[in-house]
Structure 1
Amino acid sequence: MKKLFILAACSGLIFTSCVSNKKYAELEAKQRDTQDRLNTTTVKLNSCEDEKDALRSQLASLNDTNKELINQIGNFTDLTKKGAENLERSLESLKEKDLTINKLRDALTRRDSVNLALVQSLKGVLGNLDDTDIEISVDKGVVIVNISDKLLFRSGSYTVTPQAREILGKVAQVVNAKPDFEFIVEGHTDDDPIATASIKDNWDLSVLRATSVVRILQNDFGVSPARMTAGGRSEYIPVASNETREGKAKNRRTRIAVLPKLDQFYSMIEEGLKDPAIND
């Protein structure tokens, strides 16, 4: 990695930050849109389940009614035929709704399975790290890797430590094996102010730390830059109180949000929502 003069680094990083923040905002919007689609799908699924139960109840009632009509009317075969036709239409409607519901469930199950496999892969390669220093979880359908800054950077610095390179190499091992994933690297700080020759404030520090991570993933471990976005969140998304030393330590972190390219999943959701059987 070429060394840059401080002035050139500041100018370049500010430009990079702007571009990365724009792409970061687009991915955040995409994530919110995806969550909205999933919420809409869940509502539709629940509605279909209710309609299916109502149809089953109606079928049971029709069966009883038809038996009573046959007993009462006897040879009025036209009425019997009409009742049979109603039953047949109701059964066909139930089958169509079941197919649509199963299609949507398969899409949601596929997403959950992909995320579970990714979490297991990350935990497998990262091994016996302290849970307070690195955490892997699933939040709103997205796999999140939170890494404490004490593993990645020295205080007030955006130079990655040798130990951090080892950790990032293991993360790269997983993501390189899963080319259908892209991810956002977010830098987070506590609320202690900072101002140096090369760092203006916590916005700068958070962005510089994120770009340091993506450069190492790209240059040292061969992760495609087209799959990565670097963004800084400064001090404004804390996970603990900044009133204590422990809380500040938790807030100084790097967050990697892994986003599967679920184009097929989205297509299945959209196809299901357009299905007449679910929109009756």
Structure 2
Amino acid sequence: MKKNILFIALAATVLMSSCASKKDLVACQTENKSLTASLQSAREDLAAKNARVQSLEEQLAAQKYAMAEQKKLVTNLQNSLDKSLNNASQNNVSIEKLVDQINESNLYIRHLVEVKSKSDSLNMVLTNNLTRSLSKEEMKEVDVQVLKGVVYISLADNMLYKSGSYEINERGAQTLSKIAKIITDYSNYDVLIEGNTDDVPISKTNIRNNWDLSCLRASSVAQVLQTKYGVDPKRLTAGGRGEYNPIESNDTEAGKQRNRRTQIIITPKLDEFMDLIGKAPESK
């Protein structure tokens, strides 16, 4: 009898110990899952921020380039004025006429700087509004840059299209709805949609090659912007560049993935912009 009681007590102790161990194990597994999820979220957040930093660095480099070009323009004009002054002194040109020429040149320089500054400011506001409207997940596959006064929105093919197709998927449509809102708000800009592929050959019933695929994908984006989100089709141009505009080598899978993209290029209306630059400033 005593042996039986001892055995039962021992078994109960082992059982309780086993239950406690299982509870500890479950608790550890739950905590591990939570920590893993937090780590993954932190990594994704860091990747998105790194992409944003890279984009801002590229924009800063573009701004520095633009400023350097402006300085070149001013230097060239100053050299031209110095030459005119020298010629005037040699040819006895009236001081009044020379002063008028200098004033006109200064007005034109100021005009060009104002036009460039206005364009840059609008583009930066447009870019900031767009990036704020995109989610953290979308920013991983959408790259926004401003280069030489033009806004480039580059979208990965796997976020826009169904696999091996030019049909827009649901996730891509949601992202395009946000881009369409920005495009609609900035009515003085034209929009070029440009399809790009990697160099892997494709041949389907209705797609002969990568030229076809890139054009069909660009056209799909243009039609979604028009029919679903109300963008004026007169502002849209769709075109494809096939595999001939790579940004990375196609020798790696990562390179191919970057090359498979659709770019939405937003520019000031060319005719209005050229009229603004070509219009002489009014003399005061």
Give the number of equivalent residue pairs.
211
- 1:1-280 matches, cutoff 5 A: 45-51=74-80, 91-129=99-137, 131-272=139-280
Residue ranges of structure 1 left out of the alignment (5+ in a row): 1-39, 63-84
Letter in 2 for 1:106: E
Residue ranges of structure 2 left out of the alignment (5+ in a row): 1-68
Q: For 1:202 and 1:166, how far apart are their aligned partners in 2?
A: 26
Q: For 1:132 and 1:244, how far apart are their aligned partners in 2?
A: 20
TM-score, normalised via structure 1 length: 0.66
Q: For 2:108 and 2:268, how far apart are their aligned partners in 1?
A: 24
C-alpha displacement of 1:247: 0.4
Q: For 1:131 and 1:166, how far apart are their aligned partners in 2?
A: 13
Q: For 1:222 and 1:267, how far apart are their aligned partners in 2?
A: 28
**What RMSD over aligned residues (CA atoms) do the two structures have, in Å?**
3.2
- Bigger drift between 89-98 and 231-240 goes to 89-98
Q: Aligned in 2, Cα 1:42/1:265: closer, same or farther, shift over 3 Å?
A: farther
Q: For 1:172 and 1:143, how far apart are their aligned partners in 2?
A: 14
Q: Who wins on radius of gyration, i.e. which is larger? A: 2
- Tell me the percent identity: 35
Q: For 1:263 and 1:203, how far apart are their aligned partners in 2?
A: 29
Q: For 2:177 and 2:221, how far apart are their aligned partners in 1?
A: 11
Q: Is the 8 A contact 1:104 1:272 kept in 2?
A: no
Q: Is the 8 A contact 2:202 2:209 kept in 1?
A: yes
Structure having greater relative contact order (Cα 8 Å, sep ≥ 6) = 1
Q: For 2:200 and 2:185, how far apart are their aligned partners in 1?
A: 38
